[in-house]
Structure 1
Amino acid sequence: MDFTISPEVDDLRARIADFVERELIPLEPHPASYDEHENIRLELLDELRDKARAEGLWCLQLSPEWGGQGLGKVGMAACYEAMNRSLFGPVVFNCAAPDDGNMMLLEAVGTEAQKERWLRPLAEGAVRSAFAMTEPHPGGGSDPTMIRTRAERRGDAYVVHGRKWFITGAEEAAHFILIARTSDDARRGLTAFLFHRDDPGWRILRRIAIMGPEEHGGHCELEFDGLRIPAENVLLGDGDGLKVTQIRLGPARLTHCMRWLGLAKRCVEIAQAYVAERQSFGVRLADRESVQMMLGRLAMNIEIGRLLVMKASWELDRGGFARSEISMAKIHVADTLHEAADVAIQLNGARGYSKDTVLEWIYRYARQARLVDGASEVHRMVLNRFLNERGRDFWSWPVAEG
């Protein structure tokens, strides 16, 4: 395993870091930078996206054919971590969820016609998108085999009825990827579809208020009552929906981790700056052993997270599925982000709990990390399944060909 990055990737990483320091960090303290849902104001976002595009820092995850930089997953890990030093980073560079995962999926499995219609506007930043899979009880959540939304084939189209919820970005999305049931077959009962927000037969029931700051477009509950989707808008093929979710969700979970590591490092950075100056009972906080132990533990856990992410990225780049590696990274990095925000708030005291720093924003955002794209408990169950299947080979080393 070689996690060395190329000079080209390092140059991109350094230019992203400079852009974040110069253009984004200075905006965070100002209330005028935010919309009513505590994310970057859309008018400001448009200005910053133009700057990022002009500096060649746009859509790193896609191939040059689609306006990107053609980075592999290892290169993405280095760059995504740098961009999410700021709250605003990923969306400015067009590397934020859910667009990020949707674009990679469309590039991987879309037909040429589908890519032109559905991918190109996303890659250009002209539209936003959503991935509609999760359903209210008793429908599908972490287990997609429980999905109840149905799409019935009628001639050259499918007609959809059902309900989805917690669909990220739905209120701002123009392009949607929908997972619906087309048969009761255990393995081939789901199908993936593309539809546009202007298509009749569906509606947003509500934007669900959440604990933390929201992505643009919120987290919405959707109802489908006769949405008609042409057969040409099926991704891969009828019955390939489970395969589509596997192709999309694995790398998307990993890119979450890449970004979360950037926020975790930012928490440590804020804590370090404060304890270096703050004194209590005649002693600088940075000189107290208890503080040093807290920050040392965070430094270790962040580095463990980086190694887990890099191992999973390396495995994907060499053509593997990295299922256990991604689950391990997802569990550990989600926990580490929450710990980093919590410790940084504690060390900053009342200042950390206030809105004088971005720590409280990160703390509220971090709580969802242990839930999104599969709860931590589900990923632990996945790891146990792999352990039972592989036995001692669960911990085997990759061996070079002789």
Structure 2
Amino acid sequence: MDFTLPPEIDALRLKVRAFVEREVIPLEADRANYDAHENIRLEVLAPLREKAKAAGLWAPQMPKERGGLGLPMVGWAAFYEEANRSIFGPLAFNCAAPDDGNMNVLNKVLKTEAQKDQWLQPIIDGRIRSSFVMTEPHPGSGSDPGGMMLTRAEKRGGTYVVHGRKWFISGADGATHFILVARTSDDPRNGLSAFLFHKDQPGWRIIRRISTMGPDELGGTCELEFDGLEIPEENRLMAEGDGLRLTQIRLGPARLTHCMRWTGLAKRCLEIAQAYVKERKAFGSTLAEHESVQIMLGEVAAEIEKGRLLTMHAAWKLDQGSKAQKDISMAKIHVADTLNRAADVGVQLCGARGYSKDTVLEWIYRYARCAKLVDGASEVHKMVLARSLAKEGNDFWGWG
């Protein structure tokens, strides 16, 4: 098995690392660069994105003919990990959630170039942002959208009329293009459909931007109400009843790209901690010379490497045409846990400095908690693995 990156991808990875070190990380130190929700201010992001475009580091997941880099999935893994050495990195390169997952699914399912020009290209160019609208308040859909979704899109002639409520919708505040999943029939397998709508269409509103322990991704998480939104039939994605299939097309790779980015954040936590313990002295020696500190760093370093291997293996399988469902679930569980542990160890080793806002450790520490929840709670992914084990037996551990 050869884990060596192709030379062109490795060169790109190093280019991203240098850009992040030079252009992105320095922005973290100035609180004036943060918005009210603790992400990068749009006025600061815009020129940073222009620099990334000029450097040839824009939209790594999108086709070259549409202004992206056209990387395979293993290239995404290498690129995204370096991008998220900074908390602002993915936004700088246009590979941050939820736009990243939305661009990927729209590129796959939109049928015509005209549709891509209208709905996809503005997101690729960074002129607008997007949002994926699926999760609902209880008793509506969460981890079981097929069986629990309550928002309905009723077909009237050539138009669908939408009524319902959604919440915890990432990036909705300030988004222009939305992908909506709603119920179109009571069929247990084919009852959901997916649609595109524009922010200026009447019949819907953002009820509130939900406060979280944060920090928030750009656009926050919002609660939405639909009260007669009309969507023309031509803005339905895929066939009627294919909504659940669309979510699977989107969420599989999206879960894995989270793992790619979270690995970068976990590495950054160790990077900050290592620099501190080399300088800080206690009881006559640096913290780095204490065996207990070495054990903490070594254990987390090993967990990060396990996560990288799980993520890269799943990326490789996706490149081979596999759905890689269990592989993505394994990566999602492990990398989410590792990010939380890396952030905790980073704060612990840096002491009061780690708990303060003098570094980004406390930012990452608060952000990390959502990793065990987003795109399927860890318990749901463990259920996926248990089902695969029951079905496959010893073949669960195959090499293919």
CA offsets, 1:29-87, max 9 Å, x none? 10111011100010110010011011110000011121111101101000100000001
The CA deviation string for residues 81-134 of structure 1, in whole angstroms up to 9 with x for no partner, is 000000100011010000000000011111213211100100111100000000
Deviation at 1:200, TM superposition (A): 0.3
Matched, 1:210 2:217: no
Which whole-Å deviations, capped at 9, do the CAs of 1:151-178 have from their partners, x for residues lacking one?
0011011000000000011011000000
The reply on whether 1:87 has 2:87 as its aligned counterpart is yes
Could you tell me how far 1:12 is from its partner in structure 2?
1.2
Preserved CA contact (<8 Å) 1:130 1:167: yes
Residue number in structure 1 paired with 2:156: 154
Query: 3-state SS of the aligned residue for 2:279?
Result: coil
Q: CA deviation at 1:263?
A: 0.4
What TM-score do you get using the length of structure 2 for normalisation?
0.99
Measured in 1, the distance between the counterparts of 2:52 and 2:344 equals 31
Unaligned segments of structure 2, at least 5 residues: none
Query: Where in structure 2 are the equivalents of 1:173-212 lying within 5 Å?
Result: 173-212=175-214
Secondary structure in 1 matching 2:35 = coil
CA distance in 2, matches of 1:191, 1:116: 22
* Alpha-carbon shift at residue 2 of structure 1 (Å): 3.8
Q: Distance in 2 between matches of 1:223 and 1:284?
A: 56
Matched with 2:56 is 56
Matching residue of 1:27: 27
1:385 aligns with 2:387: yes
- Which residue does 1:314 correspond to in 2? 316
The Cα of 1:283 is off from its aligned counterpart by 2.1
Instruction: Write the letter of the residue equivalent to 1:257.
Output: C
Q: CA offset at residue 7 of structure 1?
A: 1.3
**What is the aligned partner in structure 2 of residue 121 from structure 1?**
122
Amino acid at match of 1:315: K
Task: Classify the secondary structure of the residue corresponding to 1:5.
Answer: coil
Residue of structure 2 in register with 1:138 after alignment = 139
Paired position in structure 2 for 1:329: 331
* Residue identity in the other structure for 2:136: E
1:169 and 1:216 in contact (8 A); partners too: yes
3-state SS, counterpart of residue 20 of structure 2? helix
Amino acid in structure 2 at the alignment position of 1:318? Q
Match of 1:42 in 2: 42
State the alpha-carbon separation in 2 of the partners of residues 114 and 189 from structure 1.
24
Q: Distance in 1 between matches of 2:66 and 2:179?
A: 19
What secondary structure sits across from 1:331 in the alignment?
A: helix
Q: How does 1:229-308 map to 2 (within 5 A)?
A: 229-308=231-310
CA distance in 2, matches of 1:118, 1:5: 33
Aligned residue type for 1:110: L
Using the TM superposition, name which of 277-286 and 262-271 deviates more: 277-286
Return the offset for 1:5. Answer: 1.5
Cα distance in 2 for partners of 1:306, 1:2 equals 15
Partners of 1:197 and 1:387 in 2: CA distance: 44
SS at match of 1:137: coil
Contact 1:341 1:359 in 2 (8 A): yes
Query: What's the TM-score once normalised by structure 1's chain length?
Result: 0.98
Rounded Cα–Cα distance in structure 1 between residues aligned with 2:268 and 2:378: 23
Letter in 2 for 1:225: D
Paired position in structure 1 for 2:375 = 373
How far apart in 2 are the matches of 1:40 and 1:180? 32
Check whether the contact 1:191–1:241 (CA below 8 A) recurs between aligned residues.
yes
Cα deviations by residue, 1:280-332 (Å, 9 ceiling, x for unpaired): 11121111111111000011000000000001000000000000000000000
Amino acid at match of 1:215: E
Is the 8 Å Cα contact of residues 3 and 314 (structure 1) preserved in structure 2? Answer: no
Deviation at 1:190, TM superposition (A): 0.4
In 2, distance between residues paired with 1:66 and 1:188? 32
Q: Equivalents in 1 of 2:10, 2:174: separation in Å? A: 33
Count of residues paired in the alignment: 398
Equivalents in 2 of 1:215, 1:367: separation in Å? 13
- Cα offsets for 1:334-373 (capped at 9, x unmatched): 0000000000100000010000110000000000000000
Helix, strand or coil for the counterpart of 2:69? coil
Distance 2:2 2:197 in 1: 41
Q: Which residue of 1 aligns with 2:70?
A: 70
Which one-letter code corresponds to 2:328 in the other structure? Answer: I
Q: Secondary structure at the match of 1:32?
A: helix
Q: Does 296-305 or 1-10 show the bigger shift? A: 1-10
AA in 1 matched with 2:364: I
Deviations, residues 4-24 of structure 1 (Å, cap 9, x unaligned): 211111121111111100001
Q: Is the 8 A contact 1:3 1:74 kept in 2?
A: no
Do structure 1's residue 349 and structure 2's residue 361 form an aligned pair? no
Find the residue that maps to 1:276 and give its secondary structure.
Answer: helix
Checking the alignment, whether the CA contact within 8 Å between 2:194 and 2:243 is kept in structure 1 is yes
Q: C-alpha distance in 2, partners of 1:217/1:86? A: 18
Q: 1:396, CA displacement in angstroms?
A: 1.3
2:102 match: 102
Is the 1:208–1:220 contact (alpha carbons within 8 Å) kept by the matching residues of 2?
yes
Alignment map for 1:7-26 (pairs within 5 Å): 7-26=7-26
Gaps (5+ residues) in structure 1?
Answer: none
Contact 2:37/2:214 (<8 A) preserved = no
Percentage identity across aligned positions?
Answer: 68
